A and B are shown apart, each in its own frame.
Chain A
Amino acid sequence: MKSRIFPLIATIVVFILLYMIGWQRFPAFGTTRVVLNILTDKSFLGVAAVGMTFVILSGGIDLSVGSIIAFTSIFCALLIKDVGVHPLGAFAIALALGAAFGGAMGAIIHYLKIPPFIVTLAGMFLARGCAFLLSEASVPIEHPFYSDISGMYYVFEDKGRLTFVATLFVIVLLVGLIIAHFTRFGRNVYALGGDKNSALLLGVPIARTTIGVYMLSSVLATLAGIIYSLYTRSGYPLATVGLELDAITAVVIGGTLLTGGVGYMAGTLVGVLILGVIQTYINFDGGLNSWWTKIVIGALLFVFIALQKVLSSGRPVFKLPSLKR
Chain B
Amino acid sequence: MRFTKLSIILLVVVALIVPTTFAQVPESGEGLTIGFAQVGSESAWRTAFSEAVIAEAEERGINLLFSDGQQRQENQISAIRSFIAQGVDAIILAPVVETGWDEVLQEAADNEIPVVIVDRNVTADRSLWVTRVSSDFVHEGRLAAAWLAQATAGDCAIVELQGTVGSSAALDRQQGFNEVIALFDNMEIVLTQSGDFTRTGGKEVMESFLNTMDPAEICAVWAHNDDMLIGATQAMEEAGVDPGDDILTISVDAIPDIFLAMSEGKANATVELSPNMGGPAFDAVVAYLNGETLPDWVPVAGGIYFPDTAAEEYERRSGGE
Contact = CB atoms under 8 A, between A and B. Distances in A.
Contacts of A289: 68
The SS class assigned to the B binding surface is: mixed
Interface stretch (B77-85, B197-205, B229-237): B77-85
B102 interface: yes
B107 A161 contact: yes
B27 interface: no
Interface string A238-259: 1111000000000000000000
Given A140-B123, A161-B107, A239-B73, A37 B100 contact: no
Given A150-B103, A161-B107, A290-B75, A138 B81 contact: no
Interface in B21-71: 35, 63-70
A24 interface: no
B64 A232 contact: no
B248 to A, nearest CB: 36
B64 A33 contact: no
Given A33-B85, A232-B77, A290 B70 contact: yes
Interface residues of B, number: 33
A287 B74 contact: no
B98 interface: yes
B72 interface: yes
Interface residues of A, number: 38
Nearest to B97: A138
B73 A232 contact: yes
Nearest to B36: A286
A233 B68 contact: no
B309 interface: no
B309 to A, nearest CB: 32
A40 to B, nearest CB: 7
A291 interface: yes
A231 B77 contact: yes
A234 B102 CA distance: 10
Contacts of A301: none
Nearest to A31: B85
A279 B67 CA distance: 10
Nearest to B33: A286
A37 to B, nearest CB: 5
Given A37-B78, A37-B85, A236-B97, A283 B103 contact: no
B72 A28 contact: no
A139 interface: yes
Contacts of A238: 97
B99 A232 contact: yes
Given A41-B74, A232-B77, A236-B97, A284 B123 contact: no
Nearest to A276: B78
A282 B69 CA distance: 12
Given A286-B65, A289-B68, A240 B102 contact: no
Contacts of B67: 282-283, 286, 290
Interface string B252-292: 00000000000000000000000000000000000000000
A290 B68 contact: yes
Contact of A279 (B65, B73, B78, B98): B78
A138 B102 CA distance: 14
Contacts of A138: 97-100
A41 B73 contact: no
B78 A41 contact: yes
Contact of B70 (A280, A284, A291): A291
B318 interface: no
Nearest to A294: B70
B81 A37 contact: yes
Nearest 3 CB-CB pairs, A to B? A286-B65, A232-B100, A234-B99
22 contacts: A26-B86, A31-B85, A33-B85, A37-B82, A37-B85, A40-B81, A41-B74, A41-B81, A139-B99, A161-B107, A228-B74, A236-B97, A239-B73, A240-B72, A280-B78, A283-B67, A284-B65, A284-B82, A286-B35, A286-B65, A289-B68, A291-B70
Given A159-B111, A239-B74, 15 more contacts: A37-B78, A37-B81, A40-B81, A140-B98, A228-B74, A231-B100, A232-B100, A240-B74, A276-B78, A283-B82, A284-B65, A284-B82, A286-B35, A286-B64, A286-B66
